[in-house]
Amino acid sequence: MTPSPITPGDSFAAVVAELRKHHVDELFDVHDFADRIERLDAENTVEMRSAMETNARQCEQLRVLKREHELLRAKLAACESEPMQPVVNAADGCVRFRPNILVRYLLDFGGLDLNKLAMVDCPQHDREQFAQLIGYSMSGYAELSYVSDAAYERACTAAKALASRAAGEGS
pLDDT digits (tens, 9 = 90+) for 150-168: 889 889 988 898 888 877 7
Q: Is the per-residue pLDDT at 79 higher than 70? A: no
Residue-range definition of the domain harbouring residue 33: 12-79
Whether residue 125 sits in one domain with residue 96: yes
Based on the domain organization, do 87 and 163 belong to the same domain? yes
pLDDT at 170: 62
Question: Is 133 part of any domain?
Answer: yes
**Average pLDDT, integer, range 33-53:** 81
Task: Give residue-wise pLDDT tens across range 89-128.
Answer: 988 889 999 999 999 999 999 888 888 888 999 998 899 9
Query: Do 106 and 154 belong together in one domain?
Result: yes
Domain count, the chain: 2
Residue 28 to residues 3, 37, 38, 63: CA-CA distances in angstroms?
16, 14, 16, 51
Does 2 reside within a domain?
no
In a domain, 7, yes or no: no
Kindly report the three-state secondary structure assignment for every residue of 5-67.
Answer: CCCCCCCHHHHHHHHHHCCHHHCCCHHHHHHHHHHHHHHHHHHHHHHHHHHHHHHHHHHHHHH
Please report, for residues 1, 11, 93, the alpha-carbon distance to residue 162 in angstroms, rounded to integers and kept in the order given.
90, 75, 13
Work out the percent of the chain whose per-residue pLDDT is above 70: 82
Provide mean pLDDT across the span 39-56.
Answer: 85
Q: Are residues 67 and 115 in the same domain?
A: no
- Res 29: pLDDT: 63
Q: Indicate whether this model's pTM tops 0.75.
A: no
Residue bearing the bigger pLDDT, 34 or 159:
159
Mean pLDDT of 4-28: 66
Note whether 114 and 149 are same-domain residues.
Answer: yes
Above 70 in pLDDT, residue 59? yes
Closest CA to 167 of 159, 32, 115: 159
Q: What is the pLDDT of residue 97?
A: 94
